Chains A and B, each alone.
Chain A
């Protein structure tokens, strides 16, 4: 088998393999299956039978215009099809197969084979998008082998022959290169070896490379936003420096009830139980894994000693978390479940949720929380005995806190209930202390006493720490919580924008009956005035667009896709009922299709789906680009490049003149190209055929305004190379013509 013929055969095999894959992966209509099968067999028979010496595939009876019209009809069919079925992908697949059939009947020149390759790639990708069964893997292996073969043969044949050289020249080439243009066992082994190698490398990459999702490399670990207050140990005063950082940390979209947009939303990060006088430590940071109770749903069992309470309203927050340097998952207090496309979720004893490691990409999840209300029982004094281990953690105070204890006792006065005491302390702190960020982060021995007794100014951390310690000296269990206090409402997208400067610390107090409640002694800050700048509305709109981009494009997940598919399905079903209702007797409703596709969507994994979708788009773009490249209108768009390399062949022609003059065939300055060709014919007959081709191409390019294709340029190049390899006998008339010049 000659290389040329082998190339044609493998090209059609490539299309056949992709078709079989598609056939197995999806349910194709019978007529299309039959048509494609017949077209493939016919093309294969024609290619294997046709003698490669004769110019192939000139037998197609219909002119090009008819085929073009068929393609356009096919496209309209695709539009109608997609409207009728409401499914873009299957309709696209059917259109692809129609295109493939048309191409198969229409394999005239080299480019048609390239088009066939592109179609087969797209079909393969479509098959991947429609399903991922194990036979896909096997067929993909076959496809890979055939593909390597095709590419190899493509390279070899392109090298060996000039695509526009007529058959006789090919035949004479064969005389000189006979040993190369057959598929020898060496070529066979080489191709299969290459295919194996490619497959091996692919497998290696498949397991070695991390899965990419979103802009993995655009935002490396180092670029994550540095937060403060969310590690296991936090120095007092560490939040202060970031309180002026306006970078967005997350966006929070309350779902369910219509949000009013006003008010403050606490986003709980982690809680701390141990204070050593200088810094807070989370001694209860041992995390356990939250089991995945549903797809993407990580819920606590609700066994946190809260049985027997009345059911409280739950709050669902959809949170888009920027890449941070902490694995904490934020949510309104107190989080009970997290759902989202998360690898794993952990929770510690203090009720804080974590990822297993900080995410380098934005994270999107839904946090379900239930707030606590103070039960009436806690308003009456009642002796409660806490567990000893519980007390060890939550009424721990640092040494030498006597002054603080004394202050606490004066502040609470006659209040007996823990709730009353807490309220008293909260009021006292909020009223008598001044909020300020202007705190020198000095290395004080006891920053808390400094705050309470000397400076009397501070910010959230100081307030919260003071309240926790004061409560603890009174024997009320309390803990410090860090997180964010969201206040900035984006009215365009109806969500909260949370920035670094919204970092906050507050207090959780444990009441005997109600459990943990949230209290915040920090007065509303005065220096962060809400100055409405004219840019505010613009900025929030831009922020909203960025959020949309993140959601719709970067974080596009299978769930979103499915939602779209279902939406389109429902929409088209209603349209279809209106449009096709009267004609449904002739057109059976395509419900089986839809069910099957939705089913496939449900089962298939995210990556393949998204990749397949994008790849189909890419393939179609490539296909259109190839067509555009071929069209003559391209000239208008690439005028500049025409100017640039329009003299490419002129350069070759000059080289030829120089070479010929070195061989004694001079071109006087006053002779035109055709006249010089006559001179060559009389002086060096052997070079004449080669020079004819070069001169013709040169004239077309140089004087004829024509832009030569790269193929034609290659032809000229090859001819020149061969011309230069000829030897001229001085007796030019009797010289024999060289190989390949049988024109």
Chain B
């Protein structure tokens, strides 16, 4: 395999052919993959959330399944179902769409909590249980979920405890006018993501993930990270601070980002950059006003303020 940094960069470039003008979001998506995390994309419809997930899956030589979440979706529609096989005189498990490397859970907040939780269990355990049988999921396994913050009719918002299962929560935002122009000028022959060629295999992804684990984080940086986490727990603006799982997530994401940036060690800048993305969906704002998306924006700015208040180790 190539130099890991070059590999990661070529994945990013590949995705960037489709997702124009969003290099930061693309980078974070790849970092999330390297950190063995799941990604929650929250933004208004039509800014390329699904396309981003699709192009990531296309860039990897991996299996990809898409589940459109609706209010009548059942858990068995996700994990699969046991069907009686007449020839064999036995129940046979038919795997659901969750048995894929990259799973796109579109509009995750549109389905019932029961179905949501079956997905979330698969996300945290990397395995599913049906009829007292446990089936491990393939590796790498990454769930990219999208949700729409603008519309709240008929939705079931994910509680904080379940949001915690996502490593990052990203917003794409509208592209710049020039980039948007490029999108419009593209020949509309196919879905743009279909034209992408795979860059790496599933094994390569696993290797990269293993390399990200080996990135060195200095003790002072661990302390720095923990003091940020500690500050979220003590902040008066937040009703609920970051959990230990949140600290762990930030740690893993920092290492993956350092690998993506071509370093063998983490820097304080990595933590500063990732903290709002990794932490802000794990906290509960004390006096949230208005829409939940507003609350999320508030949380993000509170996290930023907290990060700014913690001195960087020199």
Contacts and interface: CB of A to CB of B under 8 A. Distances in A.
Interface of A: 650, 653-654, 657, 669-675, 699-700, 702-706
A703 B218 contact: yes
Nearest to B308: A670
Contacts of B310: 670
Contact of A703 (B266, B272, B308, B309): B266
A16 B313 CA distance: 53
A675 B308 CA distance: 12
Contacts of A671: 272, 312
Given A670-B311, A671-B312, A705 B216 contact: yes
Contacts of B267: 672-674, 699, 703
B304 to A, nearest CB: 10
B264 interface: yes
Nearest to A698: B314
A673 B264 contact: no
A669 B312 contact: yes
B307 interface: yes
B263 interface: yes
A673 B266 CA distance: 12
Contact of B265 (A657, A675, A704): A704
A704 B221 contact: no
B269 interface: yes
B198 interface: no
B268 A704 contact: no
A670 B307 contact: yes
Nearest to B314: A654
A671 B263 CA distance: 19
Nearest to B307: A670
Given A672-B268, A672-B272, A675-B269, A704 B263 contact: yes
Contacts of B312: 669-673
B265 A705 contact: yes
B151 to A, nearest CB: 37
Contacts of B263: 699, 704
Interface string B215-235: 011101100000000000000
A265 B221 CA distance: 80
A46 B272 CA distance: 51
The 9 nearest A-B residue pairs measured at CB: A672-B269, A704-B265, A672-B268, A669-B311, A674-B269, A703-B218, A670-B308, A703-B265, A705-B216
A650 B313 CA distance: 11
B230 to A, nearest CB: 15
Nearest to B310: A670
Interface size range on B against A: 20 to 34
Given A703-B265, A703-B267, 18 more contacts: A654-B314, A657-B314, A669-B311, A670-B272, A670-B307, A670-B308, A672-B268, A672-B269, A672-B271, A672-B272, A674-B267, A675-B272, A699-B265, A699-B267, A703-B216, A703-B218, A704-B263, A705-B216
Contacts of A673: 267-269, 312
Interface in B90-104: none
Contacts of A700: 265
Nearest to B265: A704
Interface string B232-268: 0000000000000000000000000000000111111
A704 B216 contact: yes
Interface string B281-314: 0000000000000000000000000011111101
Given A702-B218, A704-B216, A705-B216, A650 B314 contact: yes
Nearest to B271: A672
How would you classify the secondary structure of chain B's contact residues: helix, strand, loop or mixed? mixed
B270 to A, nearest CB: 8
A672 B308 CA distance: 10
B314 A653 contact: yes
Contacts of A702: 218, 314
A673 B269 CA distance: 7
A42 to B, nearest CB: 34
A653 B313 CA distance: 12
Contacts of A672: 267-272, 312
A471 B269 CA distance: 107
B167 to A, nearest CB: 21
Contacts of A675: 269, 272
Contacts of A653: 314
19 contacts: A650-B314, A657-B314, A670-B310, A671-B312, A672-B270, A672-B272, A673-B269, A673-B312, A674-B267, A674-B269, A699-B267, A703-B216, A703-B265, A703-B268, A704-B216, A704-B218, A704-B263, A704-B265, A705-B265
A703 B221 contact: yes
Contacts of B307: 670
Most chain A C-beta atoms within 10 Å of own C-beta, residue among B307, B309, B314: B314
Given A675-B272, A703-B266, A670 B309 contact: yes
A591 B312 CA distance: 74
Contacts of B216: 703-705
A699 B271 CA distance: 14
A650 B309 CA distance: 23
A704 B308 contact: no
Nearest to B272: A672
A703 B271 CA distance: 13
Nearest to A654: B314
B147 to A, nearest CB: 31
A675 B268 CA distance: 9
Contacts of B270: 672
Most chain A C-beta atoms within 10 Å of own C-beta, residue among B264, B267, B307, B309: B267
A675 B270 CA distance: 10
A672 B270 CA distance: 8
A699 B263 CA distance: 10
B299 to A, nearest CB: 19
Interface in B52-84: none
A702 B265 CA distance: 10
A560 to B, nearest CB: 56
Nearest to B312: A672
Contacts of A706: 265
Contact of A705 (B218, B269, B272, B314): B218
A705 B268 CA distance: 14
A705 B264 CA distance: 9
Interface in B142-190: none
A329 to B, nearest CB: 71
A150 B245 CA distance: 61
Contacts of B272: 670-672, 675
Contacts of B271: 672
Nearest to B221: A703
A675 B269 CA distance: 7
Contacts of A704: 216, 218, 263-265
Contacts of B266: 703
B231 to A, nearest CB: 11
Contacts of A705: 216, 218, 265
Interface string B180-220: 00000000000000000000000000000000000011101
Contacts of A654: 314
